[in-house]
Chains A and B, each alone.
Chain A
Amino acid sequence: SAVISQKPSRDICQRGTSLTIQCQVDSQVTMMFWYRQQPGQSLTLIATANQGSEATYESGFVIDKFPISRPNLTFSTLTVSNMSPEDSSIYLCSVETSGAYEQYFGPGTRLTVT
């Protein structure tokens, strides 16, 4: 397993601004992921954060809107750029332990855009 922390835990932001969410893992992991979860809904994968290379984005998500950094094997950031109220959601990072498909999730960042 892995222990994951996220910052901030929640934020209220103005339309048009950007927010960077940090994800820290207590051990080195190969795979890190960023998800979005609307209240009462399922999880939607935004992108896979690759160490040393560009993130791999899912359909409907683009780098200009959700730039991701992965400087090392224990840390990643997701930026939500030029925010609109539709970006209000919970953003979760997760990690996949080496050799298994099971994912461990951070506590999430609750974002409200006004």
Chain B
Amino acid sequence: GQQVMQIPQYQHVQEGEDFTTYCNSSTTLSNIQWYKQRPGGHPVFLIQLVKSGEVKKQKRLTFQFGEAKKNSSLHITATQTTDVGTYFCAGQPSFGAGTTVTVRA
């Protein structure tokens, strides 16, 4: 069945630095979604990518869908303490393992 792999599992970032989390699927995806879950909270929808090579931005967050529609990335610039949480990619119905982000002030 379809599996979505996500790396890294943990990301410890100095405040102000950039980082990227990657999502890879064993099969071609029709679309991919990204969610953020704050500690103690529930997943919150961030964005959906549908087209091959699509790039979308939300302020300091840049989301990209690979040309083959089998991988995706989330890049965060100038990390802030508000970015703390776990970021999941999802290729329905599978969710990746998530990247848990901690920020050093």
Chain A residues within 8 Å of B, Cβ to Cβ: 33, 40-45, 48, 58-59, 92, 94, 100-108
**Cβ-defined contact, B48 with A42, below 8 A:** no
Size category of the B interface is 20 to 34
A101 touches which of B43, B48, B96 (Cβ 8 Å)? B48
Most chain A CB atoms below 10 A, which of B41, B42, B44, B88: B42
When chains A and B are docked, how far (Å) is the Cα of A37 from the Cα of B38? 14
Q: Is B85 an interface residue (CB 8 A)?
A: no
Chain B residues within 8 Å of A, Cβ to Cβ: 1, 31, 33, 35, 41-45, 48, 88, 90, 92-98, 100
What are the residues of chain B within 8 A of A45 when measuring CB–CB? Answer: 93-95
- With A40-B100, A45-B94, A101-B48 given, name 13 new contacts (CB 8 A): A41-B97, A42-B88, A44-B95, A48-B93, A59-B1, A94-B43, A101-B33, A102-B45, A103-B35, A104-B45, A105-B43, A105-B44, A107-B41
**Cβ-defined contact, B42 with A101, below 8 A:** no
Asked whether A101 and B31 contact (CB < 8 A) given A42-B88, A59-B1, A108-B42, the answer is yes
**Cβ-defined contact, B42 with A102, below 8 A:** no
26 contacts between A and B (CB under 8 A): A41-B97, A42-B88, A42-B95, A43-B43, A43-B88, A44-B95, A45-B93, A45-B94, A45-B95, A48-B93, A58-B93, A59-B1, A92-B42, A94-B43, A101-B31, A101-B33, A101-B92, A102-B33, A102-B45, A103-B33, A103-B35, A103-B43, A103-B90, A106-B42, A107-B42, A108-B42
What are the residues of chain A within 8 A of B31 when measuring CB–CB? Answer: 101
Tell me, rounded to whole Å, the shortest Cβ–Cβ distance linking B49 to chain A: 10
Tell me, rounded to whole Å, the shortest Cβ–Cβ distance linking A82 to chain B: 25
A105 touches which of B42, B93, B97, B98 (Cβ 8 Å)? B42
What are the residues of chain B within 8 A of A33 when measuring CB–CB? Answer: 93
